[in-house]
Amino acid sequence: MDAIVKTSTNLNANVIYMLMHTLKLGLVMGYTALRMNDVMFGVPQIREVKTGVGSINPNCVNIMTTGHQTALQIVVIEAACSDEMQRIARDPDAEGINVVGATCVGQDLQSRINGCFIGQYANNFGTEPLVASGLIDAVVSEFNCTFPGLTQIARHEGVKLIATDDVALIKDAKLVSWSPERARDVAKEVVLMAVEAFKSRKRVERFGSVKKAKVRFSERFVAENMERIVEILAEGKVKGIAAVVSCSNLVSGGHDVLIVDLTKELLKKDILVWTAGCTAYALQGLGFMSEEGLEYSCEGLRDVCSELGLPPVWDFGICMCIARIATIAEMFAERLGLDLPDLSIVASAPQWLEEQALGDGAFALDCGFLLHVYPDPFTSGSRVVNRITEELPRLTGGRLLIEKDAVKTAEIMERHILKRRGS
């Protein structure tokens, strides 16, 4: 609330004070979003999942999720999986009902729930082609990233757009207001709208690839394997860790392009990649979270991952899970007797877009990490630029790197990591 007031007209105009407040908000966002989900649904456990549109059955009623609020979507999934709704769906010749994950809420759900929730199939800009595929009957949205472009595609495909919160209300969407008291009734209403849309959907053949992925690493996993991980880092088989997190966009070379290119370059340099948010699905969908990812890895990282039966890219969930990554960094710092800025850990939001990305970036700078971003943040005024680029290392230890070239970025990150290893 303090931040909202300060950004109103004719109030705080002290640039330095507002930048410091932004850093504070990064911490608040990261820890609050992460811990609330864990309190309600538990700390995620590693599991192997299927991914790729080839896993989506065109003969089922398929409901796609968009947003970030797991609590709202879980109620819809419970309704869709119920015997009552499954029976109703079979009346119009459907084989059943599936819920298809997309954006961050799907990234979270894939490690928390089974049943008719079949996994994660799109990040932010992947939602539009998924709706255009002819596989989807309804889109249920409760927050960003719900793009306005879905309206025209949904209209053409006969897909029902449903918002359970008016913050996600785009054109043509039906608002079905969610409340704790009416949660189950609202969920049933949503599912029935999807069943109705299925009746008029043109049937398509199953298409696309199917891949496997190991998802949802956590601080619990790292704690259980701390000594072995520290040993691997000390031996130098893995030089360090890069947290490649946050959104995708269309201006950093194209959808997912810089995310994928940077990840490949980091793996070539024996740098383990941790990821969360829309970057996670960009890598998950291409096989980086399975043994396929080892083909891009250098010998040291490849040998370690093969020995442990782990992929070279570790998924930590939604974009706000930067706090989970920071929690693990704190565990490393305590174990090694170091401060956070002294760790061989770097961060990148290579295709940042949404406000959550700003929060992730602020959190990384709070931790004292080297943070890579692209495109350039929208800044003006010499004092602002000077504070962010030159004086921040003296405040938190964090450093800001703005670079569009994946090769150059990976080289700078590697040098930073090697410097930390030598200190």
- Specify whether 143 is located in the same domain as 291: no
Residue ending a domain, among 199, 230, 249, is 199
What is the predicted pLDDT for the residue at 395? 86
Residues 6+ apart with CB under 8 A from 359: 25, 26, 29, 30, 320, 322
Question: Sign (positive/negative) of CA torsion 105, 347, 414, 261?
Answer: positive
What is the predicted pLDDT for the residue at 1? 66
Q: Which range of residues forms the domain containing residue 162?
A: 53-199
What is the predicted pLDDT for the residue at 85? 97
Instruction: State phi, psi for 42 to the nearest 5 degrees.
Output: 90, 160
- Specify whether 85 is located in the same domain as 231: no
What is the predicted pLDDT for the residue at 158? 96
Between CA 216 and CA 187 the distance in angstroms is 26
- Lookup: tokens for 228: 């072995």
Asked whether residue 2 is assigned to any structural domain, the reply reads no
Asked whether residue 190 is assigned to any structural domain, the reply reads yes
- Specify whether 118 is located in the same domain as 224: no
- Specify whether 161 is located in the same domain as 215: no
- Specify whether 225 is located in the same domain as 294: yes
- Specify whether 194 is located in the same domain as 301: no
- Specify whether 262 is located in the same domain as 404: yes
Asked whether residue 395 is assigned to any structural domain, the reply reads yes
What is the predicted pLDDT for the residue at 25? 83
- Specify whether 271 is located in the same domain as 417: yes
Asked whether residue 133 is assigned to any structural domain, the reply reads yes
Between CA 239 and CA 338 the distance in angstroms is 17
- Give pLDDT tens digits along the chain (423 positions): 677 777 777 777 777 777 788 888 888 877 887 788 888 888 888 999 999 999 999 999 999 999 988 888 999 999 999 999 999 999 878 999 999 999 999 999 998 887 899 999 999 999 999 999 999 999 999 988 899 999 999 999 999 999 999 999 999 999 998 888 889 999 999 999 999 999 999 889 999 999 999 999 999 999 999 999 999 999 999 999 999 999 999 999 999 999 999 999 999 999 999 999 999 999 999 999 999 999 999 999 999 999 999 999 999 998 878 889 999 999 999 999 999 999 999 999 999 998 888 888 888 999 999 999 998 866 655 666 676 677 889 889 999 999 999 999 999 999 999 999 985
Asked whether residue 24 is assigned to any structural domain, the reply reads no
Between CA 360 and CA 94 the distance in angstroms is 41
Residue showing tokens 């970030």: 68
pTM of the model: 0.94
Asked whether residue 72 is assigned to any structural domain, the reply reads yes
Q: Are 413 and 266 in contact (CB under 8 A)?
A: yes
Residue ending a domain, among 199, 232, 267, is 199
- Specify whether 381 is located in the same domain as 406: yes
- Specify whether 381 is located in the same domain as 310: yes
Asked whether residue 392 is assigned to any structural domain, the reply reads yes
What is the predicted pLDDT for the residue at 22? 82
- Lookup: tokens for 167: 């913050």
Domain count, the chain: 2
- Specify whether 168 is located in the same domain as 236: no
CA atoms within 13 A on the CB side of 156: 11
- Lookup: tokens for 232: 């691997």
Domain harbouring 346, CATH code = 3.40.50.2030
Residue ending a domain, among 199, 224, 258, is 199
| Exposure class string for 209-225: b at 16+ Cβ within 10 A, else e | eebbbbbbbbbebbeee
Asked whether residue 237 is assigned to any structural domain, the reply reads yes
Q: Is 57 exposed, middle or buried (0-12, 13-18, 19+ CB in 10 A)?
A: middle
- Specify whether 242 is located in the same domain as 142: no
